[in-house]
Amino acid sequence: MNLTPVERERITDSMLKIQSARASLGEVDDEKYPNAEEIDSCLQSADHHLKVALGYAQPTSAEVEDQEEDEPA
């Protein structure tokens, strides 16, 4: 399914905000906030999935397998 230009713009904006959050948190000592690694992993995953939605990245093989399992036979 193709995204409209407005949808692409919204997703791109969200992706850039996530990248900004990751960069900002990268400048803070991990010990100063709880679950730093988990938060970074979550933000990294969100960034990747948004890039896939925009066509800037390919889904991982695990993501493709999960998608195939979700599709009706």
pLDDT in tens, 55-67: 999 988 777 767 6
pTM of the predicted protein model? 0.77
The torsion angles phi and psi of 3, rounded to 5 degrees, stand at -85, 145
Length of the chain: 73
Structural domain boundaries in the chain: 5-70
Tell me the pLDDT tens digit for each residue of 4-27. 999 999 999 999 999 999 999 999
Q: What pLDDT sits at residue 71?
A: 73
Q: In whole angstroms, give the CA distance from residue 54 to residue 57.
A: 8
Q: What pLDDT sits at residue 73?
A: 59
- Full DSSP string of 1-15: -PPPHHHHHHHHHHH
Q: What pLDDT sits at residue 67?
A: 66
**Residues contacting 58, CB < 8 A, separation 6+:** 52
